[in-house]
Amino acid sequence: MAGALAFCFQPGESALHRFDPRLKTVSLLLLSPSIMASLPAGLAVFSFALVAFTGRAGLDWKAAVYNLRYFGFLLAAVFLSRAIFTPGKPVLVLGPVAFTDLGVFSGALFCWRLILVTTTGLIYAATTHSREIRAAVEWLLSPVPWIPEKRVGVMVGLVVRLIPMILDQAGKTISAQKARCVECRKNPYYRLTHFALPMLRQIIKRADQLALALAARCYNESGTPPAMIIRPVDWWGAGAVLVLCLIMIRAVFIP
Amino acid sequence: MNMIEVVDLCYRFADGTQALTEINMTVERGEFVVMAGPNGSGKTTFFRHLNGLLSPARGTVTIDGVDVQHDPVLARQRVGMVFQDVDMQIVGETVYDDVIFGPENLGLGRNEIERRANDVLIMVGLSDQRDRHPHQLSQGEKRRLAIAGILAMQPDVIVFDEPFTHLDDSGVCIVLEQMLKLHHGGITLLVATHDLEKVICYADRLVLINAGRIVEDGLPKMILPKVEKYGVRMPCALRMGKEVWPWLAH
Ligand SMILES: Nc1ncnc2c1ncn2[C@@H]1O[C@H](COP(=O)(O)OP(=O)(O)O)[C@@H](O)[C@H]1O
Ligand SMILES: [Mg+2]
């Protein structure tokens, strides 16, 4: 697979890589809703912690940002719709559209939350091996009755392998079409249909090949679990995450 | 007992393509069999029956006395398969990670996994690359990694599907040397190819497949004169009335 991809595991030895996968997964599950509920002060604290802690994890940020460049369009759309359609005092009027003060505030806040949730998820995916994600999911689900956690684990393992493959295939299909001057076509409908269909066909074919490759090497529900031990430093890490979550959701309880 | 026993194997794809028709074949332990046939003759489809990736429409495949349908996981451990497209075979994030994928799925202990991984990486000459990304390797190295990933499961049989695809000359020699080493180590080898020149000198047996049927099966020197009738190119030396020389010059 060419180049480092977003959502793709990047091997390493950083503290985040060594953080126990079970506690790391629980942390992700706690952080995401906390971020979405947080106000600017909490977000600022979390952003600072994120930058301070993951700056040295040795992740390929440039590649991740480049791969997610289309995410920027989503953010812009979210920001604009909030900024324009939220009632409030107009701060900037451009012809028929007016940006309101409350709208700009709520748009910026929402984008900030989205960026942080995505970044947290990316960091999790980049520092957690698929076998660890699988083991953590099995561990989390094992106390839940009626859920065949081993089978869910196999599915999670497959999905984790499939996502980078889909992104890789999208890149290949785009290059193959650029090589034949798809950019000369201005009609977005034409481009979308002529991109989506070949891409879907390729993805199905590659998913099929991946399934064969995994089956040929006895991929199944059992197998050797990864060695997982919770060290004292892991508890400290989980504690820090809990404190961050409390800081972020504080506003929900203390108005 | 025969290592591989295929009886009356038929297979038809969902779209109606009859890919294999009444295949009968036995392979003894330690044999080196080359299976030749043009594109689309059914080599890949046949190989996928040996480790249960496909299930026969009719007939049976037995590996060392055990029906593949009965225990596909055992068949996959005993019959290692090197895919034609190695990029599709490699599933690990690093070289080491890919090698331990099979042993982990077999549920072996950590120490045993570590020991096997070290052994096979030395065997294929990749032990100083264990922490590299597989996609950074050359085509020849990738193929050796694919072999290592299979050897770590300690198979009795290894099937190579068009092993020389996308390889330059030195890549071909390295993979060929690896195959000979395995053969001398007692592993049963099946090699599918349409390019006989490189391997035929080393093979014990040549099987020709055409349109899903086995049409010839015997000693290479008996079968070679007939290959062109079935769309397989005869080695160059033979066409000029000379003897085929070993591809590796030792
Ligand atoms: N997934 C599939 N669906 C339908 N037909 C297939 C499929 N895969 C292969 N075939 C057909 O089966 C026949 C044998 O193919 P294959 O085993 O790949 O041949 P070989 O490996 O000798 O080139 C060919 O006619 C091919 O077109
Ligand atoms: Mg083939």
Number of other residues whose CB lies within 10 A of the CB of residue A148: 12
B43 burial (CB, 10 Å; 0-12 / 13-18 / 19+) is buried
Which residue among A131, A216, A220 places its CB closest to the CB of B51? Answer: A216
- By DSSP bridging, strand B213-218 and strand B32-36 are unpaired
Cβ of residue A88 closer than 8 Å to a chain B Cβ: no
Which positions in chain B have a beta carbon within 8 angstroms of at least one beta carbon in chain A? 48, 51, 53, 73, 76-77, 81, 83, 85, 88-91, 93-94, 97, 101-110, 113, 131, 133, 135, 149-150, 153
* B91–A213 C-beta distance less than 8 A: yes
This complex has an ipTM of: 0.87
Q: What pTM value is reported for the model?
A: 0.84
As a whole number, the mean pLDDT across chain A is 86
Any bridge partners for residue B58, and if so which? B10
> Which has more confidence, A6 or B228?
B228
* B93–A11 C-beta distance less than 8 A: yes
Token reading at B137: 């390797």
Compute CA B184 distance to the chain's CA centroid, rounded to the nearest angstrom: 15
Dihedral Cα B191, B203, B3, B162, nearest 10 deg = 0
Give the DSSP letter string of chain B. Answer: --SEEEEEEEEE-TTS-EEEEEEEEEE-TT-EEEEE--TTSSHHHHHHHHTTSS--SEEEEEETTEETTT-HHHHHHHEEEE-SSHHHH---SSHHHHHTHHHHHTT--HHHHHHHHHHHHHHTT-GGGTTS-GGGS-HHHHHHHHHHHHHTT--SEEEEESTTTT--HHHHHHHHHHHHHHHHTT-EEEEEESBGGGTGGG-SEEEEEETTEEEEEE-HHHHGGGGGGGT-BPPHHHHTT-PPPPSS--
The predicted structure's pLDDT at residue A253: 67
Residue A130 domain boundaries = 2-253
Q: Which ligand is nearest to the CA of B84?
A: 2
Question: What are the pLDDT digits (tens) for B36-56?
Answer: 999 999 999 999 999 999 999
Domain ranges of chain B: 4-88+157-249
Q: What's the fold here for domain B4-88+157-249?
A: Rossmann fold (3.40.50)
Q: Rounded CA gap, A210 and A213, in Å?
A: 5
The predicted structure's pLDDT at residue A241: 94
- Over residues B149-168, the mean pLDDT reads 93
Q: Which residues make up the environment of ion ligand 2, defined by Cβ < 5 Å?
A: B 44
**Least reliable range by pLDDT among A14-18, A168-172, B167-171:** A168-172
Q: How would residue B208 be classed by pLDDT, with cut points 50, 70 and 90?
A: very high
The CA B16 to ligand 1 mean position distance, Å, reads 11
Question: A-chain residues within 8 Å CB-CB of B111?
Answer: none
Question: B-chain residues within 8 Å CB-CB of A227?
Answer: 110
| A135: pLDDT strictly greater than 50 | yes
Q: Rounded CA gap, B92 and B140, in Å?
A: 17
Cβ of residue A193 closer than 8 Å to a chain B Cβ: no
- Over residues B115-119, the mean pLDDT reads 95
Q: Rounded CA gap, B97 and B132, in Å?
A: 10
Question: B-chain residues within 8 Å CB-CB of A129?
Answer: 93, 97
The predicted structure's pLDDT at residue A7: 65
Count: domains in chain A: 1
The predicted structure's pLDDT at residue A2: 37
